[in-house]
Amino acid sequence: MNELPLTRRLQPRAPPAAAGFALWNLGFRPFYLLASVFSAVSVLLWAAQYSGWLPSSYLQGPLWHGHEMLFGYTLAVIAGFLLTAVRAWTGQPTPTGVPLMALAALWVLGRVLVLTPLDTAAAAVNAAFPIALAVAIGIPLARSRNFRNYFFVGLLVLMGGLILALHLAAQNIFELPPRLGLLLAMDVVLFIMTVMGGRVIPMFTNNGVPGAGATRHPIVEKFALGSVLVLFLADLLQAQSAVVAAIALIAAIAHGARLALWRSWWTLATPLVWILHAAYAWIVVHLALRGLSGLDVLAESFAVHALTMGAIGGLTLGMMTGTARGHTGRPLIADGFELAMFLLVQVAAVVRVFGGMAAPELYLSSVQLSGLLWSAAFGLYAVRYWPVLTRARLDGKPG
């Protein structure tokens, strides 16, 4: 099987916590922990900055927030997932120990440098991280001739190029609206989520919810993924807003049909599964709102946050929970902590997207409240999963 396996859902009793420091045993461990801590802190800082309580950084205002959301938090989660998944897909080793420490240090250095006046160093280090990650997963993929997943290498290289272009544009070296760099990066992340969502969500649904009957239709699959690629191309060519709106609305229909085939209503009693469905539903909302914003019906920021807070937040938190449990020998069931995290991030997205839309006079309050809810969700993950991610597997297996 080419996907991450869904291990046993239920165990009568978890074995006692294993001894030994295991943070550098496999890629998901440090990157999930770093991502959760960083996400909790950075969104609070952004809410304070947006409220006028903190000065802007080298990347001014929303540009820093968007940069760190995509190239900081999201790339960290992608790194943790791919470094773990590629080992499972190929049977080949991925970085552990000192090489994994070096990758994590490169990511941390990027987060620090964007807060300093060292713009050239910030550009180089941040662009270097996805390139280094591409090399880290490209070697085992090439050794195993796993060409099916080699497109991830290309997407990571593309992300490195977009980061560099955004920084050069911010420094007035390259003629490109910095917003366009973020928009294209969002499209790339959207494509990664739709690819991985299509692979794992139906599988997790059928394995975790007996009788769910989630299915995939070849025509719907091609149309859904193709529509995201067309949207990326339209954004790259800076097509007219009406054209982009039409593509986004068609894509929303395609992904809505895809989600309907996964039979989400069967998953409501299984939090580790329904969080993935809820996150994917936000992709449909994002595309619909993107279409409406292109028609000047509403502001683009609502569509942006449907993707970043709703889809990215929900999907990454769900995957960070499921894979951390599965790859540390724990049962794949959610307790009260996990349920609280999932609800917090979903409510944060609802408040951020629909709060300001329904009551424009409360827009600032919706930003502040959603930031607090988001930070609470990821802060809870960091506290809950610190011992999980830093200790050896409960079953004694490597990883």
Helices (H) and strands (E) in the chain, counts: 15, 0
Residue 251 has pLDDT above 80, yes or no: yes
Is residue 205 over pLDDT 80?
yes
Q: 4 pLDDT band (50/70/90 cuts)?
A: very low
Rounded to whole angstroms, the Cα distance separating 104 from 201 reads: 28
Please tell me the distance from the alpha carbon of residue 100 to that of residue 77, in angstroms, as a whole number: 14
Q: Are 163 and 130 in contact (CB under 8 A)?
A: yes
363-394 pLDDT, tens digit per residue, is 889 989 999 999 999 999 999 999 999 999 98
- Whether the predicted pLDDT of 136 surpasses 90: yes
Q: Which letter does DSSP use for residue 172 in this model?
A: T
Q: Report whether pLDDT(3) > 50.
A: no
Rounded Cα distance between 234 and 230, Å, is: 6
Least confident of 37-46, 104-113, 128-137, 306-315: 37-46
CA distance readout (Å), 58 to 67, 72, 76, 113, 212: 11, 15, 21, 9, 49
Q: Is pLDDT of 334 > 80?
A: yes
pLDDT at 56: 65
Backbone angles phi, psi at 21, to 5 degrees: -85, 125
pLDDT for 169: 87
The whole-number pLDDT of residue 20 equals: 78
Q: Region 15-38: what's the mean pLDDT?
A: 85
Q: What is the distance between the alpha carbons of residues 214 and 118, in angstroms, rounded to a whole number?
A: 50
> What is the per-residue pLDDT for 313?
96
| pLDDT over 50 (residue 325) | yes
Q: What is the pLDDT of residue 99?
A: 97
At 150-182, the pLDDT tens digits run: 999 999 999 999 999 999 988 888 777 878 889
Say if residue 280's pLDDT is above 80: yes
Lowest mean per-residue pLDDT among 55-64, 203-212, 323-332, 344-353 = 55-64
- Examine the pLDDT at 240 and tell me if it is beyond 60: yes
**For every residue of 47-88, which 3-state class applies, written as one string?**
HHHHCCCCCCCCCCCHHHHHHHHHHHHHHHHHHHHHHHHHHH
Give the model confidence (pLDDT) of 40-76 as tens digits. Answer: 998 888 877 777 766 766 677 788 888 999 999 999 9
Instruction: Write out 1-18 in H/E/C secondary structure.
Output: CCCCCCCCCCCCCCCCCC
Q: In angstroms, rounded to a whole number, what is the distance separating the alpha carbons of residues 295 and 170? A: 28
- Segment 246-272 shows an average pLDDT of 96
Which among 282, 151, 296, 287 is positioned nearest to 223, based on CA atoms?
Answer: 287
CA distance 208 to 173: 51
Mean pLDDT for all residues in the chain: 90
